[in-house]
Amino acid sequence: MQNQGFLQTKEIFAIVLMLVAIKAADSTPSLFAQKAQNGFWLIPIVSFVVIFPSFLLMIYLLKRFRDKNLMELIESILGKTIGKLISIIIFLFAFSTLTLDSRNYVEQIKVLYFPESPTIFIFFIFIGVSFFGAKKGIEVIGYTSWIALPIIKISFFTLIWLVLGSMVYERIFPIFGSGLPVILSEGVKKAAIFAELFFLLIAYKAAKEEAMFRKGAVVASIIAFLEIIAFYFIYITVFDYNSVEKIAFPFHDIAQYVQFGQFFTNIETLFMVFWLFAAYLKFIVFLYLIAWMFGTIFHIKNFEPLLLPLAYLVIIAGLLPFNSIYNEFVLRENLLMIMSPFFILLPFMLWFIALWKGELKR
C-alpha cells in the first residue's frame, strides 16, 4: 500500500465525481428512455432520493465504528462468515458493474471513432491503460483526478453552452412521460446507478482524516447527481422522446450535432478526447477499488499485484456478451435491478443489527 495519508477532501471529491458523474455521458440515459420516454430525466431524482439515505447511513456507521472500511465494517457487525459472504457479493457486484460498463465504453469508442479496429484490441488498450493508471496507487489516482477535473468539466460545459440554442424546453412535457408509476418504479429499480458510491466506501480510510473523506464523498455525490440531471434534461430537450429512445449514445450525438460558429464544424473529436480522459479515470478508480475489495476480503495486505489478473479477467468477461445492445439492455439492466434493493436495504440491516447488539452505544 502506498498510502501516506496524502489525500484530502478535494482529491476524494474529484475521485467520486469521476466515478459517478460520467454516467451522464454514457448510454444509461437511453436505458431509462426505453421505459419512461420523456420522463426519463426524473428517474435519477427518484433513484437518488431512494438511495442517498442509505449512503448517508452507511457513512454514519463508518463514522461510529471508526478505522474500518466497508468490508471490515460488515464483518465486524455481521460476524466472520456472513460478513465474508456479503463482502464477496459486493465484490461480485462491483466486478460485474465494471465488466459491463467497460464493454459499453469500448463499444462507444469503437462504433463512433474506431469503426475498423476489432473490439478486442480496443478492449486491451482501454483496460491496459486503466491498469497502468491504477498501478500507480490511490494517491496518484486522487491527484490526477483533481488535476483533470477542471479540464473535463470545462469541456462538458462548453458542450452544454454550444447546445443551448437547440434546446426546446417544452419537450419535457408531458411531464411524467409514460406515467408517474413508471418513473417511480423505474427509479427504485434502477437506484443502483449510484451503486458506485457504495463501492467507493472501501477507500474510507484513504484520506488523511476520515472527516475529509466523508465531506468529499457527500458533496461530490450531490454534485454528480445534479450533473446527471442537467445532462439528462439536455438530452430530452434536444432530442425529444421518440428520438432519444433510439439514440444509443446521446452525449456523442450531441457532440456531433453542435458546431462552433460557421467555420468550426465537425468538432466532436475535441469533446471525445476529454470524454475519453474521464472514462479512463473512472476505470482506473474502479479497477483499483475492486482490487482493494478483493484484498480486504482475503486479507491480502499488498493487493496491488492483484490488479493485473483482475484487469485481464475484466477483458475476458467483458468480451463474452454477444453484442453491445444485449450487454446494455439485458445484462446491465438486470444487474441494476438486482443491486438496487441490496444497496438500499443493506445499510439499514447493518444499522439494526448494530443497534440490537448494542454496538452503537459505545
Partner 1 sequence: MKGHVFFIAIAMIMLTGCFDRIELEQQSYVIAVGIDKTEEEGQYNYTYQIANPAVGSAAVQSGPNEPPAEIVTVKGSDILGATNTANSFVSKKITLDHTKIIVISEELARSKDFLGIIQSGSRTPQIRRGVELVVSKESASDFINNNQPIMEQRPHKYYQFMLSRAKQTGIIPNATLHRFFQITEGDADLFLGIYATTMQSDQKDNGEQDQYIAGEIPQRGGSPTQFMGSAVFKEGQMIDTLTGEETRFSHILDKTMDMKDFLATMPDPVKPDFRITYDYSQKQSPQIDFTYHKNKPSTIKVEIPFQIEVIAIPSLVDYSQNRKGRQKLRKAIIQRFEEKTSAFIEQSQTQYRSDPFYWSLYARPHFKNIKAYEKADWHKKIYPNAEVSVTYKMDKLEFGKMINDSKINEVRD
CB of 117 to partner 1, least distance (A): 4
CA-nearest of 237, 321, 276 to 38 is: 237
CA distances from 259 to 40, 163, 234, 254, 350 (A): 27, 9, 16, 10, 51
Mapped onto helix, strand or coil, the DSSP state of residue 19 is: helix
180 binds partner 1 (CB under 8 A): yes
Task: Tell me which stretch binds partner 1 (CB under 8 A): 96-104, 186-194, 212-220, 252-260.
Answer: 252-260
CB of 61 to partner 1, least distance (A): 40
Nearer to partner 1 (CB atom), residue 14 or residue 258: 258
CA-nearest of 248, 287, 254, 305 to 126 is: 287
CA distances from 345 to 82, 134, 135, 352 (A): 16, 31, 33, 11
Task: Tell me which stretch binds partner 1 (CB under 8 A): 34-42, 193-201, 209-217, 225-233.
Answer: 34-42
Q: Distance (Å, rounded) from C-alpha 99 to C-alpha 90? A: 14
CB of 248 to partner 1, least distance (A): 10
CB of 308 to partner 1, least distance (A): 14
Q: Please state the φ and ψ torsions of residue 264, each to the nearest 5 degrees.
A: -90, 90
Q: Give the position of cell 482490487.
A: 291
Q: What's the full length of the chain, in residues?
A: 362
CB of 28 to partner 1, least distance (A): 19
Q: Distance (Å, rounded) from C-alpha 281 to C-alpha 291? A: 16
CB of 58 to partner 1, least distance (A): 35
The site for partner 1, by CB under 8 A, has a size of 41
Q: What is the DSSP string of 312-360?
A: HHHHHHHT-SSSHHHIIIIIIHHHHHHHHHHHHHHHHHHHHHHHHHTGG
Applying CB under 8 A, among 178, 296, 324, 340 the residue interacting with partner 1 is 178
**What is the footprint of partner 1 within residues 273-312 (CB under 8 A)?**
none
Task: Tell me which stretch binds partner 1 (CB under 8 A): 19-27, 48-56, 118-126, 190-198.
Answer: 118-126
Sorted by sequence, the CB contacts under 8 Å of residue 14 that are 6+ apart come out as 142, 145, 146, 148, 149, 220
Determine contact, residues 108/252, Cβ cutoff 8 Å: yes
Applying CB under 8 A, among 57, 125, 226, 276 the residue interacting with partner 1 is 125
The set of cell numbers assigned to 230 is 442537467
Nearer to partner 1 (CB atom), residue 112 or residue 149: 112
Applying CB under 8 A, among 139, 240, 333, 359 the residue interacting with partner 1 is 240
Applying CB under 8 A, among 147, 175, 355, 360 the residue interacting with partner 1 is 175
**What is the footprint of partner 1 within residues 253-272 (CB under 8 A)?**
253, 256-257, 259, 262, 265-266
Query: From residue 135 to residue 174, what is the string marking binding to partner 1 with x (rule CB under 8 A)?
Result: -------------------------------x-x-xx-xx
Residues near partner 1 (CB under 8 A): 37-39, 111-118, 121, 124-125, 128, 166, 168, 170-171, 173-180, 239-243, 246, 252-253, 256-257, 259, 262, 265-266
